[in-house]
Amino acid sequence: MSKTLIDKETLRKAEAWTTGDFDQETKDKVRELLENDPQEIVESFYRDLEFGTGGLRGIMGVGTNRMNKYTVGMATQGLANYLKKMFNDVDEIRVAIAYDSRNNSEYFARITAEVFSSNGMKVFLFESLRPTPELSFAIRQLHCQSGIVVTASHNPKEYNGYKAYWDDGGQLIPPHDKNVIEEAQKISGINEVMFEGDHSHITIIGEEIDEAYMDKVRAQSLSPELIRKHKDLKIVYTSLHGTGTELVPRALREFGFENVHIVEEQAIPDGNFPTLKSPNPEEPVALEMALDKAKEIDADLIMATDPDADRVGIAVKDLEGKFVLLNGNQAASLLIYYILKKWQENGKLTGHEFIVKTIVTSELLADMARKFDVDYYDVLTGFKWIADIIKQQEGIRTFITGGEESYGYMVGDFVRDKDAVTSCALIAEATAWAREQGKGLYELLIDIYSIFGFYKEKLISIVRKGKSGSEEIRAMMDKFRNDPPETINNSTVVRIKDYLLRKDKDLIKGEEKEITLPASNVLQFFLKDGSKISVRPSGTEPKIKFYFSVKEELASKEEFDKVNALLDKKIENIINDLGLES
């Protein structure tokens, strides 16, 4: 690709990084790319990083579309400017900052702290890496107006990111997210970023916040007597080289579990993730070392958390005693069923409680809420929307728990984001509860299907990288939106929800009503046979996601394999009918 083929705006932005106040290393790198790798110049400068469902996230490197000192600095300055406008009546704006185990996370966190402190803000910076949920907790505990955690969650090692939070401990939602970007875009150059830190405004925090956070985690326990009885439960845990390495084992110990086995090779925080292809607990390959240890000791439960310890993947024994990785919908169903059941048994359900799920998460959770006479809310993808509902309902209803299919769960409202630390402890407790009934979690899941119906879900992510990939994903969404299928897998499409246009169309009755949720680029197709297909471009990654949900009745445990195969075939047929890669 010739330099002359770089569009003028991209070339202008790139050449601006070879002059002025940029450090010499950055200038040299951009010049090298301009001479030798125009394609990388396009990918690095064709756009600015934007806040998606997970904040700022991208590949590390030079450029406006990359995570580096300058994009982090400009985003922070933009946020600082916005905070000054929104909290101009506050004597001292306070911000908490945490970071995970990724390469450059501590570096980016310190840059963030310096920019905020230079803007006269009180900064609370964690002394070392901490889980994302603890950052959310710290914002509330320290009465901050905002917070940042430097992480790229489960992305490959070349990525890093920057999650921004508001004063409720939840991630930024509209209008704040877009307004912060607008403030950052007003900055004409890096000379407007206040990089020189004022260390008198920076306070290092650590164990005191850990203690306060762990007090709240312990308070979520619902069956302490059962843990005492089953304290020997064999649990294998891996942090996947991330921030869960300290607090997850600690939470399990403080709940009372005494037989916890750590995958030591993955217990060392390391941004290169040397034992992994990808630090993503959704992927079976990430749990291979944990599975080996579990087989060695005949474990009852395997748990793995992602690098910033906000998501957890679990594996349990199936009916034949083989370990299987549960998907996020299954794990959420087990956890939320256990919690609702214990709240009912403990007399805590008064008719003023609620749970929250996202629109792409299993409808099984809605069925549970109805059975236990608990309100439920459907929200857009991203835990920031769950946090928003909790904020809206404060003082009116009590939040019990919430979850989404992408392995994120939250118990209690002391944290306002996914919390793998608390979730791990409660999942272990649910395992003890099932054992008391002579069952494993897999058998408990089958019991749940027998009560509510056998729901089965599958997710396909189609990756299309770079500028051309973004255009291809946009074209796919346009096709589904403007020319929707009339039938899928020989079942009529009876309802279409378009969250971007905020239209809910009943194709049988010919009626249309407004969707009250904020606009979002998501399409859902509901079929006559009860299937649901959701299509959504990722807000943080170069991919488009297809979520499939099918359902059949399950008369007995003996019918499980037969119905399971039937549901697998139905999903396969839907995927083939849509012409997607399975």
Tokens of 36: 């030798």
Q: What six digits make up the tokens of 415?
A: 């944290």
Which positions ≥6 away from 480 have C-beta within 8 Å?
Answer: 523, 535
Which of 371, 355, 455, 362 shows the shortest CA–CA distance to 410?
355
Cβ neighbours of 351 (radius 10 Å)? 8
44, 153, 221, 491: the active-site residue: 153
Vertex 537 angle, CA 533 and 541, to 5°: 135
Which stretches within 122-173 are classed as H helix? 132-141
Pairing between β-strand 146-150 and β-strand 159-165 as defined by DSSP bridges:
antiparallel
Q: Looking up tokens 């839907």, which residue turns up?
A: 574
> Checking phi first, is residue 122 left (phi over 0); if not, alpha (psi -120 to 50) or beta?
beta
Q: Which residue is associated with the tokens 């003996």?
A: 558
Q: Quick check: 319 and 295 in contact, CB under 8 A? A: no
Q: Which two tokens stand for residue 455?
A: 């729901």
Cα atoms found within 13 Å of the Cα of residue 172, Cβ hemisphere only: 25
**In the chain, count of helices (H) and strands (E)?**
18, 23
Dihedral sign computed on CA atoms, order 183, 184, 188, 192: positive
Q: Is 153 a catalytic residue?
A: yes
Long-range contacts at 439-444 (CB < 8 A, ≥ 24 apart): 440/300, 440/316, 440/317, 441/301, 441/314, 441/316, 441/326, 441/334, 442/316, 442/317, 442/318, 442/319, 442/324, 443/319, 443/557, 444/334, 444/337
**Amino acid letter, residue 190:** I
Give the three-state DSSP class for 273.
coil
How far is the C-alpha of 186 from the C-alpha of 206, rounded, in Å?
35
**Residues 40/41/46/51 CA torsion (nearest 10 deg):** 70
* Angstrom distance (rounded) from CA 381 to CA 185: 26
Q: Look up residue 226 and give its two tokens.
A: 């059962």
**Strand ranges (E), 86-173:** 94-99, 122-126, 146-150, 159-165
Q: Looking at the annotation, which residues are catalytic?
A: 153
